[in-house]
Structure 1
């Protein structure tokens, strides 16, 4: 039976501005792909990211360029050969997994040999701001088990200490988003150790990875912008101790699972992250997050509103979307309603 693919831009206003060293977001701009096959359908979401040269228009163009191939019955393997890693492939890949679950009657988690997704602890993010305002934000997260701190190169020590003061027991991830240089990173090693930071995510620009050689970091370094797919791992050995797996970088769940297996085999610790997105964007990522030491899937928490039946979070405990939301057989009465 022939498929029909559609794609559209969707904008989700944020409840508050989201600031990192690279800029500020006021909305989550995503591309949603739907693949219909008779009464069945599959959905997926991708987040175009300017850091990787993507835009809404470029991602929609990529999706439309392979629409005929997908409609003719392309597999996820065919898709990986037709498109590079990125948001377009991620959205289509997720829609294909979802469609396969609907057609087979078998949930994605079952097909992967897992039980249904369970609640897990996600990082709650303190966005980049003045140390004083970051302290205020951290105060509202008191009691959270895992907190991620967005910093830059202006006052990172004060920013880190401000959050630690109000989250004394939380595990901490510090994320400079490529804004530091190697001299600053060396200078901050005692501060990171004193603040009991668990992980530093992509401190240097990806092009400067070689400067990490011989650093002997006080806390583990995690590759984010430097790690997209499994083929990136060989050049990261000895420089990073962990990798951040994001489906919008890998090109979807299919490659994310390959990256997970390869990273484990290479001895890397695993973090699973997301862009600022809706629950449709993180639903596939939950299939990888169950294997991670660090989970950072709070993207939907920044939205003013999310999909009905989406993921829910209370005090940093992330509960998966309701049954039938993504990656599970859809009851006959609900087919076509999504």
Structure 2
């Protein structure tokens, strides 16, 4: 098996701000795995919160490059276990696991969603994210991109006022993501006000390790609470079942499609709503997420829509939110 690593710096259409950081660019690692005339593509983006850079991922992968080249590739699951045994971070594993799944589908001559026996006739609509900015800027972003569902990033001293103002300009569903910025009391207080403003759910309002606070919120919030920073890997799902209404799985954080499929299954067994989110990936990562759509209740796969210029072709999202799947197999990806 041949391997190639490519670093990209993705330019964003707008400065993207959440409660703890802002950026205009997103560094991304794209991996290419080739076998028998087919090439699979995977992606993982850098993230300062988790202290992951493209360079650190590349260093990890290059240390075992010879072993990857000589690996007898048969299934993505066996390749994933090999990577776990080598001690790679989940971010680096994700980049390789996505490429392995794309490659496997291409070798099998099937899309991933068909290999998983799922039907793409019905699937959730992605939200479109509005990052923290001045109210005028946030309104302008909504007007620039009319959309049926917006994820609103909050974590300021005027969060409710922001939502009230945004509501004047659209009838779209709102989802609120405070990225760990609220207290339990603030969350419980805000929930009924936000529900009246057309908010569907709250995503990760409290710090990731505030389990006592999240249990309190779970029992007193009028809105559903979705875990994000509290649900990183497979072992987190069961704990989240006691503290949240649902989970938001990030492929980059959990280690790719292989663990994500197991997390989806476990979440459903626990009666949780299941969402998959993105981390400002290009169409490489977004097309992998799209293969999971029939299995999801909610999805946040707007990463490529936030970019000035994409680096790949794959799944396309139309102006009304519907998804056009690639006619290629695997995740349906080609690099531009």
TM-score by length of 1: 0.89
Residue matched to 2:241 = 237
Of 15, 18, 21, the match for 2:16: 18
Note if 1:155 corresponds to 2:153: no
- Return closer, same or farther for 1:41/1:310 CA change in 2, 3 Å cut-off: closer
Contact 1:6 1:33 in 2 (8 A): yes
Deviations 1:297-325 (A, max 9, x none): 00001111114533333335142453227
- Deviation, structure 1 residue 28: 2.1
Q: Distance in 1 between matches of 2:105 and 2:120?
A: 13
Q: Distance in 2 between matches of 1:54 and 1:316?
A: 34
Contact 2:104 2:330 in 1 (8 A): no
- Deviation, structure 1 residue 96: 0.8
Contact 1:132 1:162 in 2 (8 A): no
Note if 1:114 corresponds to 2:112: no
- Deviation, structure 1 residue 186: 2.5
Residue matched to 1:124 = 128
Deviations 1:122-164 (A, max 9, x none): 101111112232223233444x221110111321111111222
- Return closer, same or farther for 1:41/1:315 CA change in 2, 3 Å cut-off: closer
Give the superposed CA RMSD. Answer: 2.3
Partner SS, residue 15 of structure 1: strand
Structure 1: segments with no counterpart, 5+ residues: none
Pairs aligned (count): 328
Q: Distance in 1 between matches of 2:193 and 2:216?
A: 19
Note if 1:190 corresponds to 2:188: no
Of 302, 318, 330, the match for 1:298: 302
Residue matched to 1:211 = 213
Partner SS, residue 28 of structure 1: strand
Contact 2:110 2:330 in 1 (8 A): no
Residue matched to 2:179 = 177
Contact 2:105 2:329 in 1 (8 A): no
Deviations 1:217-268 (A, max 9, x none): 1101111011012210222233111100111011000110000000000111
- Return closer, same or farther for 1:103/1:117 CA change in 2, 3 Å cut-off: farther
- Deviation, structure 1 residue 44: 0.7
Q: Distance in 2 between matches of 1:325 and 1:301?
A: 22
Moved more, 277-286 or 80-89: 80-89
Moved more, 256-265 or 80-89: 80-89
Q: Distance in 2 between matches of 1:49 and 1:117?
A: 34
Partner SS, residue 262 of structure 1: helix
Q: Distance in 1 between matches of 2:98 and 2:29?
A: 12
Residue matched to 2:142 = 138
Of 55, 59, 79, the match for 1:57: 55
Contact 1:35 1:96 in 2 (8 A): yes
Contact 1:108 1:327 in 2 (8 A): yes
Residue matched to 2:39 = 41
Moved more, 77-86 or 170-179: 77-86
Note if 1:268 corresponds to 2:272: yes
Contact 1:283 1:326 in 2 (8 A): no
TM-score by length of 2: 0.90
Q: Distance in 2 between matches of 1:200 and 1:119?
A: 21
Q: Distance in 1 between matches of 2:126 and 2:320?
A: 6
Structure 2: segments with no counterpart, 5+ residues: 74-78
Residue matched to 1:167 = 170
Partner SS, residue 28 of structure 2: strand
